[in-house]
Amino acid sequence: MSVETRNPLPSATEEVKADLRAKAQAIIARYPAGKARSALLPMLHLVQSVDGYVSPEGVAFCADELGLTKAEVGAVATFYTMYKRRPVGEYLVSVCTNTMCGVLGGDKAYRTLSEHLGVGHDQTTEDGSITLEHAECLAACDYGPVLTVNYEFFDQVDADRALEIVKRLQSGDRPQPSRGARLCSFKETSLQLAGFIDDRDGATADGPSGEPTLAGNRLAERQGVSVPGFDPNTPIKPVPPKAAMPPPATAPKPAADGKPAGDTPPADVRAARKQAAKEGRK
């Protein structure tokens, strides 16, 4: 199907469709010729940025653009949890309920939010504003319990704090995450994950490392623990090429009478071994 006749997402306007096609081609252009299928992951985020989930039309669009089957695209889209197969609200609230966060209060925070919102795991409120999910791990054990809103972190969140955050979202406010950039919508987040810059004020942010992350460093400083010979100011030098090695020994040529000539290595190998032995005695 040609680019002109393709109908990527029936629910989108013609302007959105044209922009989608242009962005898809920009993503594919990042990869070497003949490797277009490597663009599938950002392409799935791209189509998710249009409808708020990876729709059947989005799967077909990715397959058409990349020369894949819909089964191949669907297999990837159903493997990774960040690709949603049902419409997601403006805010995806993920509460870590894995062991560390769970016992510290994550389980209670999730139950509190579920009761307040009237939804369970992977369900969206009737007004379409919030989708709730419990996450197996958000890779922030040193800040547990944690939750994320569109993958931005809110650290050391108990049930009351979690409820406050969600109520602010429902009121139209966007609370500042503990670390990272300001909140944006789930669709905007998906576009960023597809590799496109967010030009909003405060869309990118760098902050100091939190105390839980630095706890090990602080303890090492107090105990005088350091890596022997480590100098953080040591300049990075290119790795020198490996020393030339003698060519591998070749099979001995048969003698004139057809019998093996013995296991004597070739002259160049014998010379290399002799030189190595001489250097070793110095």
Name, of 15-24, 149-158, 237-246, the range with top average pLDDT.
149-158
- pLDDT over threshold 70, residue 5: no
Beta bridge partners of 260: 254
Give the pLDDT score at 25. 95
Domains and CATH numbers, the chain: 14-77 (1.10.10), 91-182 (3.40.30.10)
Lowest mean pLDDT segment, chosen from 187-196, 198-207, 231-240, 245-254: 245-254
pLDDT in tens, 53-72: 999 999 999 999 999 999 99
Identify the residue with better confidence: 81 or 201: 81
Q: Does residue 250 surpass a pLDDT of 90?
A: no
pLDDT bucket at 88, cuts 50 / 70 / 90: very high
Task: Using pLDDT thresholds of 50, 70 and 90, give the confidence band for residue 1.
Answer: very low
Those residues whose C-beta lies under 8 Å from the C-beta of residue 133, and which sit 6 or more positions away, are 92, 93, 94, 95, 121, 122
pLDDT at 134 over 60: yes
d(CA 186, CA 149): 9
Question: How far is the C-alpha of 78 from the C-alpha of 67, rounded, in Å?
Answer: 19
Confidence of residue 251 (pLDDT cuts 50, 70, 90): low
212-225 burial: b if 16+ Cβ within 10 Å, else e: eeeeeeeeeeeeee
User: What are the phi and psi torsion angles at 254 (to 5°)?
Assistant: -70, 150
Q: How many helices (H) and strands (E) does the chain have?
A: 10, 5
Q: Of 15-19, 62-66, 88-92, which range is least confident? A: 15-19
Using the predicted structure, report yes or no on whether residue 126 has a pLDDT greater than 90.
yes
**C-beta neighbour count of 226 within 10 angstroms:** 9
Residue 152 tokens, joined:
């931005």
Mean pLDDT confidence for 92-120: 96
pLDDT tier, 150 (very low <50, low <70, confident <90, very high otherwise): very high
pLDDT score at 2 = 31
Q: If pLDDT is split at 50, 70 and 90, which confidence band does 257 have?
A: low
- Arithmetic mean of pLDDT, 155-169: 96
Local structure of residue 147 (DSSP, 8 states): E
The pLDDT score that the predictor gives to residue 197 is 86
Q: Which of 175-189, 204-218, 248-262 has the lowest mean pLDDT?
A: 248-262
* pLDDT level of residue 277 (50, 70, 90 thresholds): confident
User: What pLDDT shows up at residue 205?
Assistant: 66
Share of the chain above pLDDT 70, in %: 81
What pLDDT does residue 153 have?
Answer: 93
Tell me the C-alpha distance between 279 and 54, whole Å: 65
Question: Looking at the predicted structure, is the pLDDT value of residue 91 above 60?
Answer: yes
What's the mean per-residue pLDDT of the chain?
Answer: 85
The whole-number pLDDT of residue 9 equals 66
The predicted-structure confidence for 200-225, as pLDDT tens digits, reads as follows: 776 776 666 778 888 888 888 888 88
